[in-house]
Chains A and B, each alone.
Chain A
Amino acid sequence: MDNQIETLKNLWENSRSKESGDSANTGHIIKMAKEKMKRTRRMQLGTSLILSITLAIIALYFTQVVQLNETLSRIGAVLMTGGLAVRILIECYSIYLSSKADPTDSAFNSNRATLVYHRFRKLINGPVTVVILLLYSVGFYMLTPLFYRIFNLPVLILIDASYGVIAIIFIGYIRRTIRQEMSILREIMQIEEELSDPQPCLDKEID
C-alpha cells in the first residue's frame, strides 16, 4: 500500500505549479471581494427593506387613509401587518444566522453552521411563510367590507380576484424555494455525514 501512496506523493510533488501567484491579480481579487460583500449585504437587506416598505405603506393606509371602525377590519389589519412584521424579524434573525458560517473555522463547524442556517431557511420558507401568507390572506379578505365602502362592486371583485391569483403564484414560488432548500440541505447533510467520525473500533486499520 505504501508504494502506491509514495507514487502518488511523487506525482503530487511534481504536479505542483512552480509559479507563485502573480501579485498583479490581487488588486482584481480585492475588488471582487468588496463587490461580493456589497452584493451579499444588498441581498440580505433587500428582502427586509421591501417588506418594511410594504409594512409602512399598509400601516400608513390603515392609520391615515381609512377609518377602521369595525372589529372585523381591525382584526384584518392586525393580521396583515402582524404577519409582515413577524416575517421581517425572521429575516433579520436569518441574516444573523448566515453570518455564523465562518470560512476560517474547521470544516465540521463551518458546515454545521451552514446546516443550521439552511434548516432555518427551509422552516421559514416553508411552514412559517405558508402560515404568514394564510393569516395575511385571511386578514385581507376580512377587509372586504371596508373596501366595499370605498370601491364599487366590479373593482372590489377585481381586487379580491387579483389577490387570489397573486397568492397562487406566490405559493408556486414557495414550493420551488422549498425544493431548492431541500436539495441544498441534502448536500450539506451528506458532507456532515462524511465529516463525522468513523466507527472507532477499527484500530487495526490504523497505519
Chain B
Amino acid sequence: MSDNKEIFESLYHEYHPMVLQLCRGYMKGDVDLARDLVQEVFINTWSALQKFRNEAAYKTWIYRITVNTCLNYIRDRKNKLSFQINEDQYACPAEETTFSSEKHHEILYHAIGQLKEVDRLIIMMVLDELAYEEISTIMGMSEGAVRVRISRIKKKLKKIMENG
C-alpha cells in the first residue's frame, strides 16, 4: 500500500498538468468541470493502480484512464447524482494564474470543442505529439483508421479555424 501511495504521488505530480489539459480540452475549456474530471481520473488511477502490470508505459496507461473517464464522465454525472464532489476539501492549486493568455486559450478550446467527443480526444493526443501507434492502442482502433480519422479531424479543424 505504501509503495502504491508513493507511485501514485509521483504519477499525480508528473501527469497532473497533462491530464488537466486533456480534461480542459474535453470540457471545452471549462476549468471547474475540468478539475472535477481530473479528480475523477486520479480516483480511477488509484483504484486501478494495484492492477498495473508494466505492460504499457505509465503515460499510455494514464492516457487510457483519462480517455475512458472522459467518455464516461458526462453520462455518469447525469445518472449518479449520489456522487458529490466536495470542492472545499479538494484544495487545487491556483491554476488560473498559470493559464496565461486566456484569449489564446479560448481560440484553442473553442476550436477543439467544436469536434465530437472522440475526435476531441484524438486531436488532443495529436497535439501532444503521441505516435499513431500509441493513439491506436489507447483508442482501440487500427492504426490505419487512426490516420484516416486524424486527417478528417484536421480538415474539420481547418474549416472551424477559417470560419472563426
Residues of A near any B CB (own CB < 8 A):
1, 4-5, 7-9, 11-12, 14-26, 28-30, 32-33, 36-37, 39, 102-111, 114, 180, 184, 187-188, 191, 194-195, 197-200, 202, 205-207
Contact = CB atoms under 8 A, between A and B. Distances in A.
A26 B12 contact: yes
Given A1-B158, A111-B71, A11 B108 contact: yes
B127 A25 contact: no
B99 A107 contact: no
Contacts of A206: 147-148, 151
B127 A8 contact: yes
Contact of A104 (B51, B91, B116): B51
Contacts of B75: 184, 187-188
Given A21-B15, A106-B139, A206-B148, A16 B21 contact: yes
A198 B152 contact: yes
B140 A107 contact: yes
A39 B82 contact: yes
Contact of A195 (B139, B148, B155): B139
Contacts of A18: 17, 98
B48 A194 contact: no
Given A8-B157, A11-B108, A106-B64, A21 B101 contact: no
Interface residues of B, number: 80
B9 A23 contact: yes
Nearest to B126: A5
Nearest to B41: A103
Contacts of A37: 47
A52 B150 CA distance: 52
Contacts of B47: 33, 36-37
A103 B148 CA distance: 25
A119 to B, nearest CB: 15
A106 B138 contact: yes
B113 to A, nearest CB: 12
A53 B53 CA distance: 40
A30 B147 contact: no
B39 to A, nearest CB: 6
Most buried by A among B98, B105, B127, B138: B127
Nearest to A11: B108
30 contacts: A1-B154, A4-B154, A4-B158, A4-B161, A7-B161, A12-B124, A14-B101, A15-B108, A16-B18, A17-B95, A21-B14, A22-B16, A22-B91, A26-B5, A28-B90, A29-B46, A32-B39, A33-B42, A103-B48, A103-B72, A104-B61, A107-B138, A114-B72, A184-B75, A188-B75, A195-B141, A197-B142, A197-B145, A198-B152, A207-B150
A36 B47 CA distance: 9
Given A15-B99, A106-B139, A194-B117, A20 B65 contact: no
A23 B127 contact: no
Contacts of A7: 161
B84 to A, nearest CB: 10
A1 B161 CA distance: 10
Contact of B12 (A15, A29, A188): A29
B54 interface: no
B29 to A, nearest CB: 9
A144 to B, nearest CB: 39
A178 B72 CA distance: 19
